[in-house]
Amino acid sequence: DSGVTQTPKHLITATGQRVTLRCSPRSGDLSVYWYQQSLDQGLQFLIQYYNGEERAKGNILERFSAQQFPDLHSELNLSSLELGDSALYFCASSAGQGWTEAFFGQGTRLTVV
């Protein structure tokens, strides 16, 4: 158990809908990273938050947004969902701003139908 908790584990929704994925980092970790894993794109970095502030941005679509709350949990919001958004979404956390050691959650599998 990495100590990073992601909910829900599975999500099935229709095209055009909006969903929210939740991540609770390990105790004491200030950074949260979001990754998307799909068959065609592999593991793609989406976005990082550090202590509530956006720290780095990757290949995140404009339809996607994220935030980190004062209690350090993070949410990834996906809207106007398309079939191609079906993927495994991972959250990882680390103590500092850089990726010296990060731990991954078990992911949320999103299926858009």
Partner 1 sequence: AQSVTQPDIHITVSEGASLELRCNYSYGATPYLFWYVQSPGQGLQLLLKYFSGDTLVQGIKGFEAEFKRSQSSFNLRKPSVHWSDAAEYFCAVYMEYGNKLVFGAGTILRVKS
Q: Could you say whether residue 38 binds partner 1 (CB under 8 A)? A: no
How far apart are the C-alpha atoms of 35 and 113, rounded to whole Å?
21
Quick one: tokens of 1? Answer: 């158990």
Q: How far is the CB of 42 from partner 1 (least distance, A)?
A: 5
Q: Could you say whether residue 96 binds partner 1 (CB under 8 A)? A: no
Q: Could you say whether residue 28 binds partner 1 (CB under 8 A)? A: no
Which lies closer to partner 1 via its Cβ, residue 14 or residue 42? Answer: 42
- For 107, left (φ over 0), alpha (ψ -120 to 50), or beta? left
* Alpha helix (H) residue ranges in the chain: none
Which lies closer to partner 1 via its Cβ, residue 17 or residue 59? Answer: 59
